[in-house]
């Protein structure tokens, strides 16, 4: 199927392929910079004003849970604000109280398969007149959204949201499909995003301090070099390294690095000596 382009005179594949090439230029230790680049380019593709990435994992017992056991422990906005941060925390609190965001509920119901949906694809026109839409979207400078979810394994998914500001038209089907095309072709990057936050193999997300150490580990620095760079004792750095290995279920740096090279969980159960 030919995907229409919002770039007059250019085939739709051209900006998408340029995006994929740009992402491939970032190494494993530059995941944060690559994510910002991706969010910016997604906005450029469809004239959007903000975007976010959500790492979603199946953590809770699904019995009686409207979120079906899924939780979003990591949310990263391209243009964060204190108000958006507060809204995200409030929604996380409400999920634990089984009062789930209606859009999230619809997306979680479709877990396990790739999906791309506008707000109007998920909810009826009457919903746009409700208080929740005004408080969560309009009051945060967003009048429309496209959500794309990419399963990475049965218990982890990579979500992207792309948002339009007031005064802009709603997203079209063509724009939704272009975003879907751009994100569906980079499963390797979704996997890397989840890995970098400790959400793919690890049972517990990495702390900010552990993520700093992880980035340095992936560049090949020794523990002493990492400690000096971060201004901490070798003992503290070693503790972070041990915690990272434990959370990812590996016993050494080669096995940890292998995760970024596409090895499976089963292969990692017996890392090379």
By C-alpha distance, which of 242, 264, 253, 245 is closest to 191?
Answer: 264
Is pLDDT of 109 > 80? yes
Position 11 scores a pLDDT of 55
Q: Give the phi and the psi of residue 70 in degrees, each rounded to 5.
A: -85, 145
Expressed in angstroms, the distance from the first to the final Cα of the chain is 48
The percent of residues in the chain predicted with pLDDT above 90, rounded, is: 56
Within 13 A of 155's CA, how many CA atoms are on the CB side? 14
Is pLDDT of 82 > 90? yes
Averaged pLDDT for residues 14-31: 91
- Name the strands in the sheet holding 115-118, side by side, starting at the edge strand that comes first in the sequence: 70-77, 50-58, 156-164, 144-153, 115-118
Give yes or no for a contact between 101 and 91, defined as CB atoms under 8 angstroms apart.
Answer: yes
Q: Give the phi and the psi of residue 144 in degrees, each rounded to 5.
A: -150, 160
We find that the CATH architecture of domain 13-196 is 2-Layer Sandwich (3.30)
List, in sequence order, the alpha helices (H) in the chain. 13-24, 31-46, 82-96, 102-109, 119-122, 131-136, 173-184, 187-196, 208-218, 223-230, 234-248, 253-259, 265-268
Is pLDDT of 27 > 50? yes
Position 261 scores a pLDDT of 58
Q: Rounded to an integer, what distance in angstroms lies between the CA atom of residue 24 and that of residue 184? A: 15
Q: What is the pairing mode between strands 156-164 and 144-153?
A: antiparallel
Position 61 scores a pLDDT of 63
Position 263 scores a pLDDT of 46
Q: Rounded mean pLDDT of the chain? A: 85
Was domain 208-268 assigned CATH 1.10.3720.10?
Answer: no
Q: For the chain, what are the domain ranges?
A: 13-196, 208-268
Tens digit of each residue's pLDDT (9 = 90 or more) over 58-67: 876 667 788 8
Tens digit of each residue's pLDDT (9 = 90 or more) over 202-225: 656 778 888 888 878 877 889 999
The length of the chain, given as a count of residues: 273
pLDDT band of 166, cuts 50, 70, 90: very high
Confirm whether 13-196 and 208-268 share one CATH topology: no
Tokens 């998408």 correspond to: 16
Averaged pLDDT for residues 91-111: 88
Is pLDDT of 158 > 90? yes
Position 146 scores a pLDDT of 98
- Residues 6 or more apart whose Cβ sits within 8 Å of residue 90: none
**Is the pLDDT higher at 62 or at 245?**
245
Give yes or no for a contact between 237 and 230, defined as CB atoms under 8 angstroms apart.
Answer: yes
Averaged pLDDT for residues 229-255: 87
Q: Rounded to an integer, what distance in angstroms lies between the CA atom of residue 200 and that of residue 198? A: 6
- Classify the phi-psi angles of 242: left when phi > 0, otherwise alpha if psi is within -120 to 50, otherwise beta: alpha
Position 114 scores a pLDDT of 96
Position 53 scores a pLDDT of 97
**How far from the centroid of its chain's Cα atoms is residue 270's Cα?**
29
Position 168 scores a pLDDT of 94
- Two tokens, residue 233: 């004792």
């Amino acid at each position: 199927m030919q995907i229409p382009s919002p770039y007059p005179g250019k085939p739709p594949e051209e900006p998408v392929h340029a995006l994929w090439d740009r992402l491939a230029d970032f190494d494993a230790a530059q995941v944060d910079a690559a994510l910002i680049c991706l969010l910016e380019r997604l906005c450029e593709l469809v004239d959007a004003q903000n975007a976010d990435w959500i790492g979603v994992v199946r953590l809770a017992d699904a019995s009686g849970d409207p979120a079906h056991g899924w939780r979003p422990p990591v949310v990263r906005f391209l243009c964060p604000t204190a108000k958006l941060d507060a809204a995200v925390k409030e929604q996380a609190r409400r999920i634990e109280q089984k009062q789930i965001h209606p859009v999230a509920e619809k997306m979680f119901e479709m877990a396990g398969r790739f999906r791309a949906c506008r707000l109007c694809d998920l909810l009826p026109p009457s919903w746009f007149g409700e208080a929740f839409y005004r408080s969560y979207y309009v009051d945060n400078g967003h009048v429309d959204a496209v959500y794309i979810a990419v399963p990475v394994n049965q218990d982890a998914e990579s979500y992207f949201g792309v948002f339009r500001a007031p005064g802009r038209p709603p997203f079209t089907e063509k724009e939704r499909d272009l975003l879907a095309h751009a994100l569906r072709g980079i499963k390797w990057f979704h996997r890397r995003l989840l890995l970098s936050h400790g959400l793919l193999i690890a049972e517990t997300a990495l702390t900010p301090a552990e993520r700093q150490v992880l980035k340095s580990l992936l560049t090949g620095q020794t523990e002493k070099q990492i400690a000096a760079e971060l201004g901490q004792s070798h003992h503290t750095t070693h503790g972070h390294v041990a915690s990272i290995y434990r959370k990812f279920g590996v016993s050494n740096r080669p096995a940890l690095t292998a995760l970024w090279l596409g090895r499976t969980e089963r292969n990692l159960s017996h890392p090379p000596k």
